[in-house]
């Protein structure tokens, strides 16, 4: 939370206001004894948080004091500082600022209260001539202005000699107690503010004191009543502490725009019924990643002028850059070029474990198009479908976006010949926390590589293995580079199985610690097996306790629990497991989905998460979506509409059907979050900066209240109310790449569902026969036989399927066969165009391959409809 350089320049002009007993003005009485404390953790008993520094060494607590080193030779006092954001001031109120300070060998320290963003107005300042002997500073002043988010900065620069500066007992007492916070929840009828799929479920929740059923009306934009019925009383909802009813209007299937639901004099926010609801959300959720890129100028012509900015962290002043980054002291003796990648969340850090799951979900979104009947063989994710600079390069745009992070992850691998070669550094970020707002190109902090970890190394192994099979049809060299890195990383992790990131390594960036990596070992072994088919990885994955254990937690999966990723991929990506084993794995997915459906029925707001406080945690919205992904995968495996309906209902919660009546996705819904915690999207603090782009997901309610802003604002909140749409609440309202990757996956799935009509039974059956590799293993011969199991004659047919790896059709017979990427399209010849009921047609082909797994495809369509495959 460091001020930017332009902010630092104005600190020297801070105004001193009415020091008690000083000549600056008349003395004021101390605030009353019961005046509220405005500083959080001023005695540092809770460690460093939420204090930040800039221009200094790392912050640490020594003998109960907050201490840091300050380099000598800084030109100005404001070139280094220690601070805290979010300090509330009330105009005309009296405050007492007090603190203990030492400086060794001795230096001037200025304490400044100021506006935390442009024009950085100074409200009060006091100077202390700090020495090695601790002294107590205490001053009383009257605040000249209201500011709910002022900033307290201790300026510690400007000394010729290096200093050790320590603070203790920092206090700002005064002002009126804050008014009780009452969120504006709008109408009592809570709906998905975006809308509903025509043939899908349509549910709403009503907040009411009534205990008996109430009449409801579905109204057109004109006011015409389209449907009516009565509510179902649900009683007290533990998650929201509200008395609620539910409404089910699924029977109405007619598309419409601007519809509302009216109950007991309350009218909902408007919504649509449409089969194209989620098409743009798929694009917006994926577009977030381009705007979040590091190391590249963001092109306003692609994403809007307000999001244009220069490249960040390429070593252009004031950046110290990511192109030549040293390790933390004592970690390594080399420097790495780790440019690129995505900024992880609201800060400028880049973390391999979070980058791993985010990259996986983008790659999985694309890989689903090969194996899911409703995915249209990836037409909606093809080249030219996203606003990225790599569009029209012959590669699906979603893979181009994933590659931006993959290149960064590969650069984080320890070079050959160095200790721990092949492992991955856990993270790279600023040496000290920086402040809000701060554009990437303005970040002056030194950047550091943090120690390699087993968890990071296995994340690299898993996603690099995915990369190897998915990029093989588009960029052989890059795919081979990914494959080599994956194998090297996995071997390095097995040689170093318990190198864990430290939970205390959280200055300047999140710790992302994880001391149980059995799930990462399982996930990495699965991805390497799916890509290579090699028995050693199969042996490892089947020996893992996660292979037969329950990997689907009621509260979802995330960066710290990734065994579910391996299970989902084994269930959906073609592989060589025995049929009985595949059946068991797929049954585990549907069993978990059945559990989530049961939870949806229990929850008055219809989300697939339990209603206790422990289910509302930091980033919990992404876990809600990850449970929806399990439901969506169960639908892809079975075609059973109940699973798709469950995924749809999970999105209802995120898009407005919740206690706060808010859509957690920026730009989506009449009342949507728009002030997510981010240094880049700082409009709330600096109107010259943009709001988060449409399609940005907020972390969501967090009953643990893990930031000072909500600790003061929301104490005692019911779990679903533990959220505020304010940039200062990083524990409830941050953006993050792994949250948006989940949103992108589910938005893509829902966009593929159209109007969500029932899946018809297959009217074709296909046998795919691989006759084996040629001598030398450079290719194989296969035959596809299509049987018409319907009741009408096929007059012309087009069959499609996708290879898992790098196979390329060389020649074919009895069909006109073409290939784009991994997708093979076979069209009938004139002599075999007609297939009568019960009849068959066949075609064959030779294909080349450089090796790796080559399983039979799980999805083959004929004329766009999925066939039974054997």
What single string gives the DSSP state of each residue in 19-81? -TTSTTS---PPPPTTPPB--SSTT-TT-STT-EEESSS--EEETTEEEEEE-TT-SSGGGSE
Can you read off the two tokens belonging to residue 802?
Answer: 């996708």
443: phi > 0 → left, psi -120 to 50 → alpha, else beta; which? Answer: beta
Catalytic residue among 100, 284, 347, 652: 347
* C-alpha dist (Å) from residue 61 to 51, 71, 135, 165, 331: 11, 19, 18, 11, 22
C-alpha to C-alpha distance for 775 and 603, rounded to whole angstroms: 59
* 234, HSE (Cβ side, Cα atoms, 13 Å): 25
Cα 811 to Cα 222: distance, rounded to the nearest angstrom: 60
Helix (H) or strand (E) holding 101: strand 94-104
Place of tokens 């290096």: 162
Helix, strand, or coil here: 818? Answer: strand
Q: Within 13 Å, how many C-alpha atoms sit on residue 315's CB side?
A: 7
Burial of 855 (0-12, 13-18, 19+ CB in 10 A): middle
Nearest CA to 787 out of 813, 768, 804 is that of 768
User: Can you give 636-698 as a three-state secondary structure string?
Assistant: HHHCCHHHHHHHHHHHHHHECCCCCCCECECCCCCCECCCCECCCCCCCCCCCCCCCCCCCEC
Bridge-partner residues for 561, per DSSP?
558
Peptide bond connecting 318 to the previous residue in cis, omega within 30 degrees of 0: yes
Place of tokens 């002291």: 329
* 3-state class (DSSP) for residue 452: strand
Alpha-carbon gap, residue 277 to 291, rounded angstroms: 23
- Active-site residue 725, yes or no? yes
Write down the residue that tokens 């629990």 correspond to: 561
**Among 383, 734, 752, 806, which one carries the catalytic annotation?**
734
Query: Is 734 assigned a catalytic role?
Result: yes
Instruction: Please provide the distance, in angstroms rounded to a whole number, between the alpha carbons at the two ends of the chain.
Output: 58
Phi, psi of 753 (to 5 degrees): -85, -10
Contact at 8 Å (CB) between 641 and 177? no
Centre a 10 Å sphere on the Cβ of residue 532 and count the other Cβ atoms it contains: 21
Tokens of 725: 């749409």
Q: Is 674 assigned a catalytic role?
A: no
Rg (CA), the chain: 29
Q: Are 441 and 310 in contact (CB under 8 A)?
A: yes
How many whole angstroms from its chain centre is CA 766? 39
Which residue bears the tokens 């320890």?
A: 414
- What is the residue-wise DSSP string for 819-857? EETTEEEEE--GGG-EE-TT-EEEEEEEEE--SS--PPP
Tell me how far apart the alpha carbons of residues 367 and 749 are, in angstroms, rounded to a whole number: 12
> Residue 804 and residue 574: Cα distance in Å, rounded?
7
Active site residue 683: no
Q: How far apart are CA 456 and CA 267, in angstroms?
A: 49
DSSP assignments along 366-414, one per residue: HHHHHH-GGGGGGGGGSTTSS--TTTTSSS-HHHHHHHHHHHHHHHTBP
Catalytic one of 429, 450, 546, 677 = 677
Please name the residues in contact with 511: beta carbons below 8 A apart, sequence gap of 6 or more: 501, 502, 503, 504, 505
The residues assigned a catalytic role are 347, 677, 725, 734
């Amino acid at each position: 939370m460091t001020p930017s350089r332009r902010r630092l320049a104005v600190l020297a002009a801070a105004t001193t206001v009415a020091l008690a007993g000083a000549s600056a003005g008349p003395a004021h009485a101390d605030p009353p004894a019961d005046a509220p404390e405005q500083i959080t953790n001023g005695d540092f008993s809770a460690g460093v948080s939420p204090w930040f520094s800039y221009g200094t060494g790392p912050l640490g607590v020594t003998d109960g004091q907050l201490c840091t080193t300050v380099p000598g030779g800084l030109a100005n006092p404001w070139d280094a500082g220690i601070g805290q954001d979010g300090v509330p001031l009330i105009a005309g109120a009296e405050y007492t600022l007090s603190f203990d300070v030492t400086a060794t060998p001795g230096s001037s320290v200025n304490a400044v209260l100021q506006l935390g963003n442009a024009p950085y107005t100074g409200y009060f300042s006091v100077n202390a001539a700090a020495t090695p002997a601790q002294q107590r500073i205490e001053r009383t002043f009257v605040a000249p202005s209201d500011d709910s988010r002022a900033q307290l900065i201790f300026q510690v620069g400007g000394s010729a000699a290096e200093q050790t500066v320590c603070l203790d007992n920092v206090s700002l007492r005064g002002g009126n107690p804050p008014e009780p916070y009452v969120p504006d929840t709008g109408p009592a009828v809570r709906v998905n503010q975006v809308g509903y799929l025509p043939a899908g479920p349509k549910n709403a929740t009503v907040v009411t004191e009534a205990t008996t059923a109430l009449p409801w009306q579905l109204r057109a934009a004109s006011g015409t009543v389209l449907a009516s019925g009565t509510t179902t009383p649900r009683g007290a909802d533990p998650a929201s502490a509200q008395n609620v009813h539910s409404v089910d209007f699924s029977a109405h299937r007619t598309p419409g725009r601007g519809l509302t639901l009216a109950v007991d004099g309350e009218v909902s926010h408007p919504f649509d019924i449409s089969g194209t609801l989620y098409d743009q959300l798929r694009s917006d959720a994926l577009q977030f990643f381009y705007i979040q890129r590091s190391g590249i100028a963001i092109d306003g012509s692609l994403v809007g002028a307000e999001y244009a900015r220069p490249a960040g962290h390429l070593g252009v002043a004031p950046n110290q850059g990511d192109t030549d980054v040293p390790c933390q002291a004592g970690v390594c003796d080399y420097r790495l070029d780790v440019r690129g990648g995505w900024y992880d969340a609201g800060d400028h850090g880049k973390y391999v474990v979070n980058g791993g799951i985010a990259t996986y979900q983008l790659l999985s979104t694309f890989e689903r198009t090969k194996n899911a009947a409703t995915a249209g063989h990836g037409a909606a994710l093809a080249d030219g479908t996203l606003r990225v600079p790599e569009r029209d390069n012959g590669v699906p745009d979603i893979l181009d976006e994933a590659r931006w992070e993959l290149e960064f992850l590969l650069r984080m691998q320890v070079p050959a010949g160095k200790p721990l070669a092949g492992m991955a550094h856990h993270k790279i970020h600023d040496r000290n926390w920086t402040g809000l707002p701060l554009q990437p190109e303005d970040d002056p902090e030194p950047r550091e590589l943090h120690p390699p970890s087993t968890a990071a190394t296995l994340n690299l192994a898993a996603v690099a293995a995915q990369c190897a099979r998915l990029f093989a049809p588009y960029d052989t060299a890059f795919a081979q580079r990914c494959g080599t890195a994956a194998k090297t990383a996995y071997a390095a992790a097995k040689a170093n199985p318990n190198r864990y990131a430290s939970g205390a390594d959280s200055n300047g960036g999140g710790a992302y610690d994880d001391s149980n990596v059995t799930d990462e070992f399982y996930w990495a072994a699965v991805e390497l097996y799916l890509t290579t088919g090699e028995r050693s990885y199969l042996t490892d994955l089947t020996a893992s306790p996660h292979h037969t254990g329950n990997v689907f937690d009621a509260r979802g999966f995330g960066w710290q629990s990734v065994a579910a990723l391996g299970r989902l991929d084994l269930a959906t990506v073609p592989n060589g497991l025995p049929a009985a084993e595949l059946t068991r794995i797929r049954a585990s997915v549907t069993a978990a989905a059945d559990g989530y459906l049961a939870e949806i029925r229990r929850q008055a707001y219809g989300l697939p998460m339990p209603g206790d406080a422990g289910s509302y945690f930091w980033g919990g919205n992404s876990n809600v979506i990850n449970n929806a992904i399990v439901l969506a995968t169960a639908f892809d495996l079975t075609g059973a509409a109940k699973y798709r309906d469950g995924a749809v209902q999970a999105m209802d919660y995120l898009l407005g059907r919740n206690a706060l009546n808010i859509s957690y996705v920026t730009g989506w819904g009449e009342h949507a979050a728009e002030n997510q915690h981010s240094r880049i999207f700082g409009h709330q603090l600096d109107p010259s900066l943009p709001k988060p782009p449409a399609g940005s997901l907020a972390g969501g309610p967090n009953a643990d209240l893990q930031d000072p802003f909500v600790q003061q604002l929301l104490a005692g909140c019911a779990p679903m109310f533990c959220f505020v749409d304010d940039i200062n609440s990083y524990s409830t309202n941050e953006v993050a790449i792994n949250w948006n990757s989940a949103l992108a996956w589910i938005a893509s799935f829902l966009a593929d569902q159209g109007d969500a009509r029932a899946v018809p039974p297959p009217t074709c059956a296909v046998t795919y026969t691989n006759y084996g590799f040629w001598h030398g293993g450079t290719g194989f011969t296969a035959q596809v036989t299509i049987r018409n199991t319907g009741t009408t004659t096929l007059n012309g047919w087009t069959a499609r399927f996708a290879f898992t790896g790098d196979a390329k059709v060389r020649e074919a017979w009895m069909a006109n066969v073409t290939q784009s990427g991994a997708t093979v399209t076979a069209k009938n010849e004139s002599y075999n165009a007609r297939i009568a009921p019960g009849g068959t047609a066949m075609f064959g082909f030779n294909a080349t391959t450089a090796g790796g797994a080559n399983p039979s495809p799980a999805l083959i369509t004929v004329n766009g409809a999925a066939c039974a495959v054997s």
